Chain A
Amino acid sequence: MLLFVIGFLCFQMGLAMLATLFYVLAGKIMLLALGVLLALGAVALIAAIWRELRVYFCREAAALRRILAVRARQMDAATLTVQESRQIRYLSHFKRQRLLAANNRKHLRELFDAVNRELQAVRSELPAATYKALRKALRNHHKRADAEAILALREQIPCR
């Protein structure tokens, strides 16, 4: 920078040759400084990367990573056991619900058949529209698996 100032002063004083010399020299020195700065930056970067790599691959760090990996596996195993146990219980509950549903269906069918037989028995005593309405309602209740409604409907059937 100083060389640029000197060059400028020389130019002002009419020393054109000297000014040119200082300008050329200043340009070269600045370029050199920039190059040195870049080289220093690159060296610092490489040194930092090398340092980090050494730290990462040193035996202590590797042993520490192994410990952390084993701990992570322990935690994973514990979580997996809890989840598997929950899954087994859920499946068991689901199977039990299926058993119950099948049993409910079986007994509801028996109730439906019995009430249907009772309805058939009094068919002649009932008006056709009432009979049809009762039968339709009975079917609907059976479809909806509504046992209480079937029992209530049974109460409406006269002279059993």
Chain B
Amino acid sequence: MSLISRWLGDTLAFLRRSRDENLRWQLSRQDDVAELRQARALAEQALLAQLKKQTQQLAHELEVNKARNNTELAMVKTQCKQDLKDYQQYLQSLDRLKESLRNSYAHLPEAVAFTIHHHAKQLLNQMWETQEPQEKMKVEMQLLQFMTAVHEDSQASLQSSGNEALPQKALAIIDANLDVK
């Protein structure tokens, strides 16, 4: 019995010593621990403030980007609408050109008028679908030259009181283009 009570006493003494030692260590490090806690709290606050600032900046950027994107989309829409309108006007002017050819040449076969109109339309589509500006300009010039030739043919026919059988200049340009192809 005395052996057990001695063991118990030794164990309790060991525990008390350990706790005393621990308490002394904590007391000696209390300042350091408080300093570390304060530093940690400050660092957390600074990080939080930085993150909040970053969030605000990003939110502002998002708003600016949204506005810019909306403007960009509106511009694309307007551009496409204008593009479509231009294309429609081009088609109408080509139709008028065909009509003026018919009026100038009383006995012009429909096949010839169709061929001239079709060629002009091909040039127009080629011009529209070309992405490269230089090539686009070149095709546009070709179209303008062709339309000018058709117009000149019409004028010449009207001046010669409809004696001309066919629009020679326009047909010559079509032949030349076919040869090139």
Q: Which of A59, A78, A88 meets B77, CB within 8 Å?
A: A88
In the complex, residue of chain B having the shortest beta-carbon distance to the beta carbon of A113:
B110
Residues from chain B with a CB closer than 8 A to the CB of A104 are 121
> Contacts A95-B84, A115-B110 hold; do A81 and B72 have CB atoms under 8 A apart?
yes
B149 to chain A minimum Cβ distance, whole angstroms, is 20
> Contacts A60-B44, A60-B51, A74-B61 hold; do A96 and B128 have CB atoms under 8 A apart?
yes
Q: Is residue B39 within 8 Å, beta carbon to beta carbon, of the partner chain? A: no
Contact yes or no, A115 B111, CB < 8 A: yes
Give complex CA distance A130, B91 in Å: 37
Q: Which of B72, B81, B117 meets A85, CB within 8 Å?
A: B72
Residues from chain A with a CB closer than 8 A to the CB of B95 are 103
Contact yes or no, A89 B65, CB < 8 A: no
A contacts with B: majority SS = helix
Contact yes or no, B55 A85, CB < 8 A: no
Q: Is residue A154 within 8 Å, beta carbon to beta carbon, of the partner chain? A: yes
Q: Which of B58, B80, B110 meets A111, CB within 8 Å?
A: B110
Q: Is residue B114 within 8 Å, beta carbon to beta carbon, of the partner chain? A: yes
Total B residues in contact with A, Cβ cutoff 8 Å: 37
Contact yes or no, A63 B48, CB < 8 A: yes
B82 to chain A minimum Cβ distance, whole angstroms, is 10
Q: Which of A71, A92, A103 meets B91, CB within 8 Å?
A: A103
Give complex CA distance A54, B170 in Å: 83
Give complex CA distance A92, B109 in Å: 35
Q: Taking beta carbons and an 8 Å cutoff, which residues of A are in contact with B?
A: 59-60, 63-64, 66-67, 70-71, 73-74, 77-78, 80-81, 84-85, 88-89, 91-92, 95-96, 99-100, 103-104, 107, 110-111, 113-115, 147, 151, 154, 160
Q: Would you mind naming 7 contact pairs between A and B with Cβ atoms under 8 Å apart? A: A63-B52, A70-B59, A85-B72, A88-B80, A89-B76, A100-B91, A111-B111
| 8 nearest A-B pairs in the assembled complex, by CB-CB distance | A114-B110, A92-B80, A63-B51, A81-B69, A70-B58, A111-B114, A66-B55, A85-B76
